[in-house]
A = this chain, B = another copy of it.
Amino acid sequence: MVQTKQSFEPPDRPAVTVDVVIFTLREREVHVLLLKRRYPPFADQWAIPGGFVKLDEPLDQAARRELEEETGLQDVYLEQLYTFGAPDRDPRMRVISVAYFALVRADVQQIRGSHESSEVQWFAVKALPQPLAFDHDQIMRFALDRLRSKLEYTTLAFQLLPEVFTLPELKQTYEQILGEKELDRGNFYRKIKEAGVLESVGKQRESGGRPAALYRFQANRRDNDFVFRWREARIEPRGEGAVDDAVRD
């Protein structure tokens, strides 16, 4: 940035916001948190939580602040997603939005009643209200695509589960996010176990049939290169272009 010439005063400045797509697991299904707008534009439509970036505030911190305001949660997995800056995305003024997504553990999803907005609600990603306000449908698609593609080669899924979980639960989480296809139990267990990121917690738990063993995620084992890759769950490229390709705005 910043050329050498011109007096360093940008003419008019766009506003900059941070939007955070917050994922969690509820009743074994992936959900996102949305707010209902009270005033125009897009009154009564659902929107991704977000707000202005303060002048002396890092972007990540702004995202964390939003997250904390809406959910009361800290220490959450947070990752910058993409920056959306179409000039007309907010009819009132030029707003550039740096989008983030967050993964919230299933066992701590107490939503603090937001002081800002009357209606805050978790929606299953399979049953999102349509359309969302602004360009939030697009942001949501980006977030889901990113989540899906990173599931393959990272341990992101563990960030959604409670601290202690069973392999069937983990498998179901993967299936939830990757789409409808059912993963092969044997192959799934084999891969996960070979990755060596699980710590057995010995206990058991009821579930109708044979109890499943409980595990904890071994975050410490940094030596592993977490590469889970399931061809069987391969995500077919979406119509408009690949997940992280080419140019968009």
Listed in ascending order, the chain A residues whose CB lies under 8 Å from chain B are 1-5, 8, 10-19, 35-39, 47-48, 50-61, 77-80, 82-83, 85-87, 90, 92-98, 116-118, 133-134, 150, 154, 225, 237, 242, 244-249
Contacts and interface: CB of A to CB of B under 8 A. Distances in A.
Nearest to A60: B249
B13 A116 contact: no
Chain B CB count within 10 A is highest, among A1, A60, A133, A154, for A1
A8 B42 CA distance: 14
Contacts of A150: 244
Nearest to A153: B242
Contacts of A117: 3-5
A17 B1 contact: yes
Chain B CB count within 10 A is highest, among A95, A225, A249, for A249
A1 B90 contact: yes
Given A16-B96, A87-B58, A98-B85, A77 B2 contact: no
Nearest to A156: B245
Q: What are the 4 tightest A-B residue pairs by CB atom distance, in nearest-first order?
A: A1-B17, A1-B50, A59-B85, A4-B38
Contacts of A85: 16, 53, 58-59, 98
Contacts of A80: 82-83, 247-249
A117 B5 CA distance: 7
Nearest to A35: B4
Contact of A14 (B11, B38, B55, B245): B55
B55 A11 contact: yes
A18 B38 contact: no
Given A56-B87, A94-B55, A1 B14 contact: no
Contacts of A1: 17-19, 47-48, 50-52, 90, 95, 97, 134
Nearest to A59: B85
Nearest to A83: B83
A8 B55 contact: no
Contacts of A2: 17, 37, 47, 50-51, 90, 95, 133-134
15 contacts: A1-B95, A2-B90, A3-B51, A4-B39, A4-B117, A5-B116, A10-B15, A11-B52, A14-B55, A58-B85, A58-B87, A58-B249, A79-B247, A80-B248, A225-B237
Contacts of A39: 4
